[in-house]
Amino acid sequence: MIFRRAIVSEIANSASAVFSVLFCIVFTQVLVHMLGDAASGDVDTKALFSVVALSTLTNLPLVLTLSVFISILIALSRAFRDSEMVVWFAAGQSLLSWIRPVLRFTLPVAALVAALALFVSPWAERMIAEARQRFEHRDDVSKVTPGRFIESAASDRVFFVENLDIDGAHVESVFASQRSGKREIIIVAAQGNVETHGDGARFLVLSNGRRYEGSAGVAEHRVLEFDRYAIRLESQVDTPMASSNARTFTTGQLLADPTPRNLGELLYRLALPVAAVVLALLAVPLAYVNPRVGRSANLIFATLLALVYLNSIQIMQANVQRGRMGFGTAVWLAHAAAVLVLVALFYRRVSLRRWLPRPPSFRPGSARPPA
C-alpha cells in the first residue's frame, strides 16, 4: 500500500510537470500563430490576448489527455528501470493491481476533460468566432494596421497609413486605391480623420492631398489637388453574426440537429474523455522496461501507439462528417481497437509470453537436425 501510494504521488507530480510543459508549448504555438494573423490584419490587435487565451483553452482537453498518459508512462517506467517493480512482483502482486490506482488518478481528470470538451471548448470557439466576425464587420479604416496594405471587405479598395492613433480617429500619410470597372482612383493625403454624421454614416475626411484618376494602359490621367476630401466608409456592424462551424455549437445544438457534420464533432467531444482513460491504462503495460536494455524502444513504441490511437479518432470523425461511416459504428470502433491492444499487452506482461517463439538453440555436443 505504501509503495502504491508513493507511485501514485509520483504520477501526480509528473502530471503537473508534463502539463506545464505541454501547456507552454501549446500557448507559444497559438501565440505565434495569432501574432501572424494580427500582423496580416486578420485578427484585431486589441483582442489579441483574449483570442490567444481562448484558443489555448480549446486545446486543454487534448493537453490533459496527453499529460495523464505521459506522466503514468514516466513514473512506471522509472519503477521498472530502478527495479522497484521487482519488489512489487516478489510480494505476490500482479501488474493488474495497478489498474485500480491508475483509474483512481485518471477518472477525475477524465471528468474534467469531458467538461472541457462538451461545454467549455465550444463556448471558447464561439467567443473566438464572434471576435473574428466583429472585426470583419468593422469599417475599412478601423481594420487598418500602420505600415501594412489592407484590402477592404468588398475587395475594391486598398488602404495604407503610416501612423494611426490609439482610437483610430486620426491617421497620417494616407494612401488609398479604389477600382471601379476600368477606372482606377488613387488618393494620397498627408492626414485624415474619421467623422460620424448624425445618420450614423462614417466618412474618412482627408486633408492636403491629391487624387489621381485614370484607366489602366492609358497615359492620360486627371490629377486633382484638394484641401478636404471625404470617402464614405462601408460598415457592416449591424449585420447579424452567425457561424456555421460545428465547433462553435453547444452539445445540445449538436444533438438537436444530427447532421453528419454535427455528429462528427459530437463524436470527437465524446472520444476525448474515453481516450484519456484508455491511454492511461495503456501506459501501464507499455511502461515495462528491461533495466539491462534501456527504455528508449518502449517509449518510442508507446508514443507511436498513442499517436495512432488519437489519429484514428480524427479519422473516424472525418468519415462521419463526410457520410462514409455511421455514427453508431464510428463512435466505438477506434476505442474497441485500442481496448483489444490493451488486453493483448496486459496478457503478454502478466503471462510473460513472447510475441514470437524463441529460435531453437543447440548446445555443443547435442545432435544437430538432419540437413
The pLDDT of residue 221: 77
Per-residue pLDDT band at 322 (split at 50, 70, 90): very high
Bridge partners of residue 230, in order along the sequence: 205
Question: What does the pLDDT look like over 155-199, one tens digit per residue?
Answer: 677 878 777 765 556 778 888 888 877 788 888 888 888 777 777
In this structure, is the dihedral angle defined by the CA atoms of residues 114, 115, 116 and 122, taken in order, positive or negative? positive
Per-residue pLDDT band at 215 (split at 50, 70, 90): confident
Bridge partners of residue 222, in order along the sequence: 213
Strand order in the sheet with 202-215: 150-151, 157-164, 170-180, 183-196, 202-215, 221-233
Cα distance between residue 333 and residue 343, in whole Å: 16
Cα distance between residue 231 and residue 136, in whole Å: 19
Mapping DSSP onto H, E and C, the string for the chain reads CHHHHHHHHHHHHHHHHHHHHHHHHHHHHHHHHHHHHHHCCCCCHHHHHHHHHHHHHHCHHHHHHHHHHHHHHHHHHHHHHCCHHHHHHHCCCCHHHHHHHHHHHHHHHHHHHHHHHHHHHHHHHHHHHHHHHHHHCCCCHHHCCCCCCEECCCCCEEEEEEEECCCCCEEEEEEEEEEECCEEEEEEEEEEEEEECCCCCEEEEEEEEEEEEEECCCCCEEEEEEEEEEEEECCCCCCCCCCCCHHHCCHHHHHHCCCHHHHHHHHHHHHHHHHHHHHHHHHHHHCCCECCCECHHHHHHHHHHHHHHHHHHHHHHHHHHCCCCCHHHHHHHHHHHHHHHHHHHHHHHHHCCCCCCCCCCCCCCCCCCCC
Q: Encode burial over 96-121: b for 16+ CB neighbours within 10 A, e otherwise.
A: eebeebbeebbeebbebbbebbbeeb
What is the share, in percent, of the chain residues with pLDDT greater than 90? 39
Per-residue pLDDT band at 283 (split at 50, 70, 90): very high
Average pLDDT over residues 87-107: 80
First to last CA, the chain: 57
Cell triple for residue 134? 466583429
CB-CB contact of 52 with 31 (8 Å): yes
The pLDDT of residue 356: 44
Residue 7 has pLDDT above 80, yes or no: no
CB-CB contact of 338 with 356 (8 Å): no
Lowest mean pLDDT among 129-133, 199-203, 327-331: 199-203
The pLDDT of residue 91: 66
CB-CB contact of 185 with 211 (8 Å): yes
HSE at residue 273, side-chain half, CA atoms within 13 A, is: 16
In this structure, is the dihedral angle defined by the CA atoms of residues 298, 299, 304 and 308, taken in order, positive or negative? positive
The pLDDT of residue 158: 81
Cell triple for residue 70? 505521459
Cα distance between residue 360 and residue 279, in whole Å: 36
Of residues 309 and 291, the one with the higher pLDDT is: 309
pTM for this model (two decimals): 0.75
Residue 358 has pLDDT above 60, yes or no: no
The pLDDT of residue 237: 46
Question: What does the pLDDT look like over 20-58, one tens digit per residue?
Answer: 999 999 999 999 988 887 776 677 777 788 999 999 999
Of residues 200 and 247, the one with the higher pLDDT is: 247
Cα distance between residue 269 and residue 247, in whole Å: 10
Mean pLDDT of the chain: 81
Q: Which amino acid is present at 74?
A: I
CB-CB contact of 69 with 306 (8 Å): yes
Residue 61 has pLDDT above 50, yes or no: yes
